[in-house]
Structure 1
Amino acid sequence: MNRILLQHGTSRHGMSRRSFLRTTGRGASAAAGLWLAGCGVGGDGGTAGGRVSVKLGWIPNIEYSGIFVGVADGLYAKRGLEVEVVPGGPNSPVAPLVTTSRVDVGIEAIPENVATAVAGGAKLKIVGAGLRKSPECWISLADKAITEPKQIEGKKLGITLAGKNTALVFLKRNGVDPDKVTLVPIQFDPAPLAAREVDAIWGFASNQPVALGLRGIETHVMPLADYGFNRMQSVFFVSQATLDDPVARENARKFLLGSRDGWDAALKSHQRAAEVTVEKYGKDLGLKLDEQLKALSAMAPYVTSADLVDQGLLWMPESLVEETIASLGSIGITADKSLFTNELLQG
């Protein structure tokens, strides 16, 4: 049986997801409440065209830099669109705001949040994939690298409550006997790995490895997606009401295409993307330029892939949709192809 060594959610290192992620690729700080949605509006003075509000799934940071660059460099404005960016954060759900039309577009870190809302009666559609490959991974120290799933047997694994179900499914699907693994509850802080209290931790490629790298600690990353467990993440979604209304639909289409432009620009110049994120959107959040740069470099391979030559960023090929549906099903989340549509990216 899996052995639990610590009370879940506690660690002598004492760092929560919110405090740890302040300096990595998926978060800033609890000061997000000081950041005003209005600072996301415009570009070069706004436009005379449509207007879209987008709700982020988390506190503003580099994972949304494509949107930030799109606003700051006038890429939405060129398409006749004014964009208002609404920050997310702890206890700040996205799906209810999109469902009730209080915001036009939502971004959820994981598709299961949208699928669960739909199962509860919400009429929502996922219209784009910010991350085509899941950044979830097992992280080990470079000098004791775990390079394939079977090597996990006999090891101590640091795992968060949020990641436990996914981790157990991954182990079973890869022929790893859970009874031969010791699960050590941790938070998002990678300190237990740095201290060699565990052999690997579950985390995100643009988070914990970046934080450890900045401390001079080299790590090895084993993505879950490379071993049969992949689902799109950082998903863009809208309500069916938006798709049914000609004006709202056109504005949402411009937003998706402008976001693609923004991400193309961010990937071409990590420096520009990090500067916009830190100097404008993260000005009051304690973001640091070097950290955001490294986080974007780590995240970039998960944003794009070789099969996007003709279709472009955010596009959801059928194979990715099928992978996502299968992975969601393996963790008990029901979804089908009707949840996904590329229609806003087709024109």
Structure 2
Amino acid sequence: MTLTISRRGFLHTAAAAGATLALPGRARAATPFTMQAAWINDAEFSGYFLAIDKGYYAEEGLDLTYLPGGPDVIPESAIIAGRADLTLTTPDTTIRAISEQGAKFKIIGAQYQKNPIGVVSLKKNPINAPADLVGKTIAVPPVNIVTVEALLALNGIDKTQVNIVPYAYDPTPLVKGEIDASLDFTTNVPFTIGQLGEEAQSFLLYDHGVTLYNDTVVVTEETLAAKRKELVAWLRASRKGWVENLADPALYPPQWAETWFAGTGRSIENEVFFNTAQKPLIDTPNGIFAMTEEDIEKNIQALAAVGITGSRDMFDTTLLAEI
């Protein structure tokens, strides 16, 4: 929600990934490994679901436990407390924790090369660019106020010119005309708005200066030192799952209606829409999770616009070179 939108909260017991791997002359037990997701089980995490179901983590020697997130889950807390080896989060929260609280974190990959968070409005009353927000009311999750302030600052707009109100991840007020726009995932909420009888319009914050990753892969420095081999294995298996999932975004979500997506209250049509819309934000010629020097610098500059001090050493790209 994140830049993290603390979005969504549902518990799912992951399919067992790992048991043992057969080796010549002996059996080697898979290594227990736990990942903490940033939100409930939806298409945002399809690549991991596929990799679990297809046994890709098991092939890499990992017995993976998958922990879903939710509105009350702070992803970084899972790795601080030792409940998970790795988590998905966002650069603003992670880098602020490093620079302001001394947290010993490293960002080792980025699922979303372009952050899916954007300004969503109605096509009949469109907000097409930051300048269109002047004099308008936008609903923003409290954890994302800094994100909107960054957008305004980077586009030369005084924040007093925009009326910012709380947002509860429900587009109903937008459809009813009570607000002019909301801050949300452009990969998902337009579908909901369509179901409510209106057509959505949106733009990505990324395309207007807030050049941040999302669902960054974060570990503690201690885990990076102690479990490097396992982290590389996780990246390799996860990349394989994402590549297969994105090859046909409509293929796998229907297969998870009674497993990964059970009980969320979301339709499979919604998940297919989400999975399809996120493909160009994840795909990169450098490989899933890639972090180029240029993009890392863009992240650092975007955060600097709102007073968050980042530096290159907060990102570790060496594991990606080992995949």
TM class by shorter chain equals: 0.7 to 0.9
User: Any idea what SS the aligned residue of 1:144 has?
Assistant: coil
Q: Point out where structure 1 has 5 or more consecutive residues left out of the alignment.
A: 1-16
Query: Equivalent of 1:63, from 25, 44, 66?
Result: 44
Aligned 8 A contact 2:38 2:87 in 1? yes
Say whether residues 1:298 and 2:272 are aligned partners.
Answer: no
Cα distance per residue 1:168-194 (max 9 Å; x no partner): 231232123434333343322111211
Paired residue type of 1:82: D
User: Any idea what SS the aligned residue of 1:279 has?
Assistant: coil
Measured in 2, the distance between the counterparts of 1:26 and 1:225 equals 19
Aligned 8 A contact 2:150 2:302 in 1? no
Aligned 8 A contact 2:7 2:70 in 1? no
Change (3 A) 1:276 1:115: farther
The answer to which of 195-204 and 222-231 deviates more is 195-204
Query: Equivalent of 1:116, from 96, 101, 118?
Result: 96
Aligned 8 A contact 1:62 1:292 in 2? yes
Write out aligned runs for 1:1-347 (5 A): 27=8, 30=9, 32-33=10-11, 35-36=12-13, 39-42=14-17, 47=21, 48-108=29-89, 110-119=90-99, 120-245=101-226, 248-304=227-283, 308-309=284-285, 311-347=286-322
> 1:226: Cα distance to partner?
0.7
Change (3 A) 1:276 1:318: farther
User: Any idea what SS the aligned residue of 2:138 has?
Assistant: strand
Aligned 8 A contact 2:91 2:213 in 1? yes
> 1:127: Cα distance to partner?
0.6
Change (3 A) 1:46 1:60: farther
Paired residue type of 1:346: A
User: Any idea what SS the aligned residue of 1:297 has?
Assistant: helix
Which has the larger helix fraction?
Answer: 1
Counterpart of 1:4?
Answer: none
Identical amino acids, percent of aligned pairs: 28
Measured in 1, the distance between the counterparts of 2:97 and 2:256 equals 30
TM-score normalized with structure 2 length: 0.87
* Count of residues paired in the alignment: 311
Q: Point out where structure 2 has 5 or more consecutive residues left out of the alignment.
A: 22-28
RMSD: 2.4
Cα distance per residue 1:35-69 (max 9 Å; x no partner): 33xx34217x6644433211112222211111110
Aligned 8 A contact 2:188 2:273 in 1? no
TM-score normalized with structure 1 length: 0.82
Aligned 8 A contact 2:36 2:66 in 1? yes
Change (3 A) 1:259 1:172: same
> 1:134: Cα distance to partner?
1.2
